[in-house]
Structure 1
Amino acid sequence: MTTTATTTRATTSTVGALIRTGVIATVVASAATMAVAAAGHAAGISLDMGGASIPVSGFGTLTAVFSLIGVAIAALLSRFARRPRRAFVRTTVVLTALSLVPDVIADAGTATKALLMLTHLVAAAIVIPAVARRLAA
């Protein structure tokens, strides 16, 4: 009985640490993608896609939304996967690769497409390792 209570407490604190780390990584990644987009725009790269301009804040917002979805995936895998870290890294690398597809086919210039893809990779490079470190191997 005591072992069960200890195990439950350890699992709860592990999930709590995972979520805290994920939220912090999300904030950092959102700021980083906005900085990359702003730097690209300042360097003369258009943020226009399909005739509409993407606001720099939009990069941060979408990064936050999809990063938090990644944190939720990590929390689920920590509970249900036999090897949560491995499953998380594989899943998120595939999802990151798939996230580049819309950028490739977007109605935008080549430099804009490259900037969009760079922001995806920057976010992934920040969030995936930070969250993966909190998962059991």
Structure 2
Amino acid sequence: MSTTTTVQAPVTTVATPVRRTVWKHGVAAAAAASVVTSTLAALASAAGVSFADQTGASIPILGFTQLTFVFSLIGVGLAAVLARKARRPRATFVRVTVALTVLSLVPDATFGFDVASAVSLMTLHVVAAAIVVPVLAGRLADRR
């Protein structure tokens, strides 16, 4: 009579790195920034800020929503690309977005807006960046 003994090796699982996707959180941040900037623009408009340039054309409140969302999505795309391509995705993303935010202030200062409109527009750019950039940067690795 023969007996067979089966020995089972212990099973070890290796934790796979969690892929920290930027898309879901980025879209949520873009939506939040759009709501906040539109609300602040509406409040500024109600307080007397015209958002009109030298030709008299005024920026509609829905324009704040749309442009904030579109440019925030561009930031999400940038974060996704840097997550795959940059050696230091987080630092690169922060540097690039800070530079782009500063550049976004130039038209507000040069397109003939009155002081209240220009300051309000600049503030809205910074507010949108302050909402979106930290969310996306937090999803990026320090190093690849």
- Give the alignment's TM-score, normalised by structure 1: 0.88
**CA shift at 1:53, angstroms?**
1.4
CA distance in 1, matches of 2:58, 2:100: 25
Tell me the secondary structure at the aligned position of residue 87 of structure 1. Answer: helix
Does residue 35 of the first structure (1) align with residue 20 of the second (2)?
Answer: no
Tell me the secondary structure at the aligned position of residue 133 of structure 1. Answer: helix
More helix by share: 1
* Alignment gaps of 5+ in structure 1: 1-5
Structure number with larger C-alpha Rg: 2
CA distance in 2, matches of 1:45, 1:63: 19
CA distance in 2, matches of 1:33, 1:106: 20
**CA shift at 1:65, angstroms?**
0.7
AA aligned to 1:61 is: Q
AA aligned to 1:85 is: R
Say what the alpha-carbon RMSD is for the aligned residues. 1.1
Provide the residue aligned with 1:103 in structure 2. 108
Number of matched residues?
A: 126
Provide the residue aligned with 2:12 in structure 1. none
Provide the residue aligned with 2:23 in structure 1. 19
Q: Percent identity?
A: 52
* Alignment gaps of 5+ in structure 2: 1-15
Which structure 1 residue ranges, 4+ long, deviate > 2 Å from structure 2? Answer: none
CA distance in 2, matches of 1:36, 1:115: 9
**CA shift at 1:27, angstroms?**
0.2
> How do 1:1-137 and structure 2 match up within 5 A?
10=18, 13-14=19-20, 17-49=21-53, 50-137=55-142
